[in-house]
Every structure is written in structure tokens, then in C-alpha cells.
Amino acid sequence: MRTLTLYYATNRNHLGQRWTPNSYGQDFSADRPNNLRFGRVTVEVSANKVTDYLNDKVNSRSGDGENLAGYIEKKLRKKNLISAFVEAEKPTNATNSPLASTTAFNELKKQMEMKRDLVVFIHGFNVNWFEAVASAMALELMLNRRSQDNDKLKDTSVFLFSWPSNGAMMRNKAYLSDRNDARDSSVAVARGFLKLRDFLMTLRPKHNDPTQNECGQQLHLLCHSMGNYVLQHALVSLDKLNNQKHFPQLFQHIFMCAPDVDDNVFEDKRPMVNLYRLARHVTVYYNNGDLAMYISDYTKGNTDRLGHNGTARPLQLHNKVSQVNCSDIVGGVTEHSYYLWATVNEDIRQSIDDLAYDDSARKRKYKSAQVWRLT
């Protein structure tokens, strides 16, 4: 057997006891939508089954993270342990006590001192708590496939932010409800970013305490589907909370996977025009055959989706932003969570490892105007 551990932040409502919940629901925390709970969840899985999924072939490529996530979800529903980090009885601000976030960040710092980097993961539409946790755990396992066979590579940790996506398909109502919840979660995400910034500031080398030095590893952000819509609105909230100062450059990479946002979102006066300020690199992964993007386009009244055809005007992109067309290797209209398997996941890990975009080890070819094509 193998024990999987995941640290999380959520603004979902707890089910069961507040500090040892059974799970989290599809509504906001009773305190308010921008209140964040931090904690840890563990689950026992079969080490052999995990290895089998990591070695399974998907379109002739090794690694089936989607079915791995499905297996982990089943295990979570049977038995899991959730420990929410306790908050003070009388919080010192209007959201939550800094104790819970500081506890979480200190735990993550310990991991980063042993591992390589940390990926913050924001899931998408129609995802319940168990699915969110399972996807995050599967993402971590998939990203670390290469490090298991290469002693020079350290593992990468994943930290989950879970917002109250419905997790139940009710035709258009579920989608529209999730868009509202994604938008209303933006303040929670923005506050989380600022809490992270403030924590990182305490780790500057000016401190004499050797236990409070920077670990030297990198932070990354991966948003899937409507998780990018959460990020879009978080930028607006971050601008207000940060008193319209420059965004803190928190991340080395931001990975936008199958982003369910407008295809002109990076253009002047559009919501994500300044996203590049949060990171050194921004990468958009899209699939021309993504049925979820088609549905969002034509049945929900949205404009063309970034996750379907990439940006509307790629020549206007900031030089920090690049695009990867996954259509050739993904195939089929049902593939929406392709960040979890095979070549796409490996490409993400290669970016985390600072491999040059044009390195021969990558399975991508340069097309034009900062657009690459996975092969």
C-alpha cells in the first residue's frame, strides 16, 4: 500500500465536523465565499495499481492520469482522512486567522526543502471535492514519473485550491452556477495569493534564523478549464486588494490548460492583459477538438474559447506568453483533461525542469508567432 498526502485550501462548506470534516460540499463556506480553509487530506492506495496507471499507454504514449484520478477518487470515497488546520476563535481580520495559512505554508516549505518545486492547482467546472482531490493527487504522481527513473530530478508537490464547483451535471444550470461560483471565488484566490506573498517575504535571507531561509525552489500555477475563469476574476480582485500596485511575481510558470475563457482575454483592456506580471512564463494548452470548449462556445452564449483555438490574435501576445496546440496528440472530441496524461503532462514537467522550449527532448514543433504544436 501507498499513502498519498495532499495539502489544500478551499472556500467550500465543510461536511461533518469543522476541523475533521468527512468532505467538503458544493456550497460556499458558511463564513463567506472569500473565507479560506487550509488543511491536509490522506488516502491509502495500491502502489502496484498506481504504477500500472503511470505505465499505461494512451494513444501510444505512457501515462494514464485520467483513469488514475478515477481510481484515487474511488479510494477517497471509501476512506480518507481530512485534517483542517485550526483557526483562532477570534480571527484578527475579516477573513480567517493567519494561523491556518501559515501552518499550511510552513508544511509546504518543508516539502519544498526536500522536493523540487510546488504546483498550485485550480480545478475546473463540474468537479466535486473528491474529484478535485483525486485530480490533484494524480497530477502530482504524473508529474513525478520521470523523477522516479532519474535520480537527478527531485519530486514536485501539488497544492490544491478547490472552489465550490457543483460536481453534478444539470444542463445549462450547472454551468452557469459554476461560472457564478468561479467569479465569487476570485476574492478568496486573490487573498490566498497575497497571503502567499506575505509568507514568502518572511523568508528573505535578512532573517538570522536559519530555519526561516528561502528554500530556493520555484512556485508554479496550473489552472484547468473554468479554473482559468477563477484566475481571470482573481486578477481583478488582486488589483483592488493590492491597491493597484504591480502584481507580485509569485510564479515561475503559469499553465493554462483547456482554458474556458475568451480567446481575446490577453488583449489590451481585457481581463488577463497583465497576467504575465504574475509569472516569468505563461503557457496556454489548447485542443481544436475539445467538445467542452465547443459547448461553452455555442450552447452557453460565450465567445470563442481560448482552450479551443488559442488566442484570437497571437501576434499581439506578450513575449512571456506562449501557446501549445495539443490537437494532434490528444485526438477526439472528449479529451478535456489532457493535462493529466501522456505527452501534455510530460511537456508541463519539462517546463518545470526549465528545459528550453526548442530542446530536442521535447515532443513539440515550432509553428509560428509563439505557437508550438505537440507531436
At residue 96 the predicted structure's pLDDT band, cuts being 50, 70 and 90, is: very low
Domain ranges in the chain are 2-374
Q: How far apart are CA 161 and CA 183, in angstroms?
A: 14
pLDDT of 94 over the 50 cut: no
| Better-predicted residue by pLDDT, 254 or 63 | 254
Q: How far apart are CA 239 and CA 243, in angstroms?
A: 6
Identify the CATH number of the domain defined by range 2-374.
3.40.50.1820
pLDDT of 334 over the 70 cut: no
Q: How far apart are CA 343 and CA 142, in angstroms?
A: 11
**pLDDT > 90: percent of the chain:** 51
CB distance 228 to 74 below 8 Å: no
User: What count of other Cβ atoms lies within 10 Å of the Cβ of residue 198?
Assistant: 14
Q: What is the pTM of this model?
A: 0.90
- Give the residue among 163, 338, 352 at the shortest CA–CA distance from 257: 338
Least confidently predicted of 22-36, 237-251, 348-362: 237-251
Give the pLDDT of residue 57.
79
Question: What percent of the chain is helix, strand and coil (3-state, nearest 5)?
Answer: 40, 25, 35
Give the pLDDT of residue 262.
93
Mean pLDDT of the chain: 85
pLDDT in tens, 235-293: 988 888 877 667 778 999 999 999 999 999 999 989 899 999 999 999 999 998 776 66
Give the pLDDT of residue 23.
95
Give the pLDDT of residue 95.
46
Strand partners, 209: none
Q: Residue 146 class from Cβ within 10 Å (0-12 exposed, 13-18 middle, 19+ buried)?
A: middle
pLDDT of 33 over the 60 cut: yes
| Better-predicted residue by pLDDT, 300 or 352 | 352
Q: Residue 165 class from Cβ within 10 Å (0-12 exposed, 13-18 middle, 19+ buried)?
A: buried
pLDDT of 303 over the 90 cut: no
Distance in Å from the first CA to the final CA of the chain = 36
Q: How far apart are CA 125 and CA 292, in angstroms?
A: 10
At residue 90 the predicted structure's pLDDT band, cuts being 50, 70 and 90, is: low
| Better-predicted residue by pLDDT, 104 or 207 | 104
CA 90 to chain centre: 31
Q: Is the dihedral of CA 105, 108, 110, 115 positive or negative?
A: negative
Average pLDDT rounded to a whole number, residues 60-75:
91
Q: How far apart are CA 309 and CA 181, in angstroms?
A: 25
